Structure 1
Amino acid sequence: MEQLKIGSCTFTWLNGGVTHLDGGAMFGVVPKALWAKKYKVNEKNQIELRTDPILIQTGSNNFLVEAGIGNGKLSDKQKRNFGVEEESKVEDSLGKLGLSALDIDYVLMTHMHYDHSCGLTREKEGRYFSVYPNAKIVTSEVEWDEMRNPNIRSRNTYWRENWEPVQEQVVTFKKEWSEGPLRMIHTGGHSNGHSILIIEDEGVTAVHMADLMATHAHQNPLWVMAYDDYPIDSIQAKKEWLDFGVKRNAWFTFYHDAIYRAIKLKENGDIQAAVNRELNK
């Protein structure tokens, strides 16, 4: 498992599973001739996208950023459609660190799409239960409202079994939420309730852009997904928080990137430092 120190905080990437989605959808109107130079694509025109939660340990709390695609939640048809080759092994990863799901204090959900929230619950004897019963589950108020009342476009990604069993654990915020060195900030864009995460500790900064910048290849503010509900908001928010991070020499962390766990960027956009994903994981 790859790790990164941000001040006194330790980031550890857990095994949350993997999907393969259409590259055209992931890069929207950007021509394949451009995006394929920056991110590997297979013969089905799919790109590999991890769904790996980040465990952030501050010394006083264990935070989990996103929840993975879960295990046993997807039908065979869904696995084929989403290109799922591996389901979540988050609890196995926690076990290797001497932890269990019961030790998670907060689950920070930048948004609640299925590929981020399936790992919040599991099925047993026909009923769904919380995987992290001791945790507060934090997401924006807008996201939580849409999760429970999806529209005709979003209902295919907001699933009742991912929210109903954990609703008593959910804590929402309007614009910003903070705990210790962590801040969640509502941005909109990818979804109306999408948020990012800022970590600032001992003069070191990390920015978790979530699906505003799903991979390192999405750095260009104009390169937004066809999946984005509000692409203009995505563009504006990505530019704002990229500028914020670059000025602070911040680490940009990823949930979906199959190549990098985190990168630092120069002002010209070149990568100056990186934490690579271990391919033999």
Structure 2
Amino acid sequence: MQKTSFIVIRGNSMRLEGGCMFGNAPSTLWKKWVKADEKEMIDISSNCLLVRTENHNILFETGCGAYLSPDMRERFAVNEETHLLLQALEEQGLSDSGISHVILSHMHFDHVGGLLSAWEPDRESDLLFPHALFVVGEENFKRSKSPHMRDRASFIPKLSDKLQSTGRLVLKRGGDRLEVDSLVIEFFQSDGHTPGMLVSRIQAPGGTVIFTGDLMPGLPWVNLPITMGYDRFAEKLVDEKKQILDRALAEDALLVFPHDAVHAAARVELDPVKKRVMPSKIFKTLNITL
């Protein structure tokens, strides 16, 4: 039986205001879960999931990257100048040219910025990953080309055109599947955070892994009622979250979080007191074979 490795690698990190990240929760609650500074800013990671099969290297997300100019990097509170994702791939014996698929939950800059080379003065960033198929939700890709005024700043200008011009863009909808070697990747379409976001259920021979996207950006958001101020349709997101959590419980699936600075992944169980699905076994790092 073929074995598949699941490794969480980290790209560039950010700082965001905790109140925005926990939109409907008071600070007296969310400060019990995450550490905040005097300005109530919290650490936001770019957790990217590297999946290595017998013949392919699949990357889920690329994080915020290092494409921003110094003034914009300060504005968006991105911490590092260098492209940390490329360094993390090197530590795995890979480069961006060795990635066969880049699967993007959605097109917001903090999930796709790592597709671009690091900022240099008087030079436009290049699109990296020259041999990869770029997989993204069809509806969210359309939105990236014509965003609503409310979330226009979340999309990178011209990136959708760069992806389209490669001839390697693959658009998916909810219920679609992608088979790679012994893996079956099933896409669940979530519209609560942003229309057309894809949550990836990765079925390997030895178990199931779910890359949550911004449905659950980190461990605290496994709590069913907790949503972000950035979510477009919060009640819809809670309903979608319940569907994924119920499925994770039934399949003993491992949830991988894109933004948690402390926790990379978790399994879930039914909490007998709260009467809903909650984290059980928690992983601060992830490097497993299934």
Fold match, TM over 0.5? yes
Shift in Å, 1:121 = 1.9
Query: Do residues 252 (structure 1) and 255 (structure 2) align?
Result: yes
Q: Which residue of 2 aligns with 1:13?
A: 8
Residue 204 of structure 1 contacts residue 250 of structure 1 at CA under 8 Å; is this kept in 2? Answer: yes
* Equivalent residue letter for 1:214: P
Residue 205 of structure 1 contacts residue 249 of structure 1 at CA under 8 Å; is this kept in 2? Answer: yes
Aligned-partner SS, 1:239: helix
When normalised by structure 2's length, the TM-score is 0.87
Q: Which residue of 2 aligns with 1:35?
A: 30
Unaligned runs of 5+ in 1: 1-6
Deviates more, 1:152-161 or 1:232-241: 152-161
Shift in Å, 1:263 = 0.8
Structure 1 CA distance, aligned partners of 2:76 and 2:125?
A: 22
C-alpha change, 1:29 and 1:271, in structure 2 (3 Å) is closer
Aligned-partner SS, 2:135: strand
Structure 2 CA distance, aligned partners of 1:178 and 1:241?
A: 19
* Equivalent residue letter for 1:86: E
The equivalences for 1:222-261 within 5 A come to 222-261=225-264
Structure 1 CA distance, aligned partners of 2:239 and 2:255?
A: 17
Instruction: Identify which of 161, 166, 172 aligns with 1:164.
Output: 161
Shift in Å, 1:261 = 0.8
Query: Do residues 274 (structure 1) and 271 (structure 2) align?
Result: no
Q: Percent identity?
A: 28
Structure 2 CA distance, aligned partners of 1:236 and 1:78?
A: 35
* Equivalent residue letter for 1:118: G
Shift in Å, 1:99 = 1.3
Deviations for 1:22-50, whole angstroms, at most 9, x for unmatched residues?
11110112111111111222211011110
Residue 118 of structure 1 contacts residue 162 of structure 1 at CA under 8 Å; is this kept in 2? Answer: no
The equivalences for 1:43-122 within 5 A come to 43-71=38-66, 73-87=67-81, 88-122=83-117
Structure 1 CA distance, aligned partners of 2:235 and 2:186?
A: 23
Aligned-partner SS, 1:266: strand
Structure 2 CA distance, aligned partners of 1:96 and 1:34?
A: 37
Instruction: Identify which of 199, 208, 212 aligns with 1:209.
Output: 212
Shift in Å, 1:265 = 1.7
Shift in Å, 1:199 = 1.2
Shift in Å, 1:90 = 1.4
Shift in Å, 1:161 = 3.8
Deviations for 1:234-281, whole angstroms, at most 9, x for unmatched residues?
111101101110122111111111111111122115543222149xxx
* Equivalent residue letter for 2:280: Q
Shift in Å, 1:53 = 1.5
Deviates more, 1:86-95 or 1:185-194: 86-95
* Equivalent residue letter for 1:194: M
Q: Which residue of 1 aligns with 2:274?
A: none
Shift in Å, 1:181 = 2.4
Q: Which residue of 2 aligns with 1:178?
A: 178
Structure 1 CA distance, aligned partners of 2:9 and 2:282?
A: 18
* Equivalent residue letter for 1:249: D
Deviations for 1:124-162, whole angstroms, at most 9, x for unmatched residues?
763342201111100111011011111111211111243
Residue 128 of structure 1 contacts residue 165 of structure 1 at CA under 8 Å; is this kept in 2? Answer: no
Deviates more, 1:11-20 or 1:132-141: 11-20
Structure 2 CA distance, aligned partners of 1:103 and 1:19?
A: 26
Instruction: Identify which of 265, 268, 281 aligns with 1:262.
Output: 265
Deviations for 1:182-206, whole angstroms, at most 9, x for unmatched residues?
2222111110011101112225111
Deviations for 1:45-67, whole angstroms, at most 9, x for unmatched residues?
01111013211112221111011
Structure 2 CA distance, aligned partners of 1:20 and 1:153?
A: 21
Q: Structure 1 runs of 4+ off > 6 angstroms? A: none
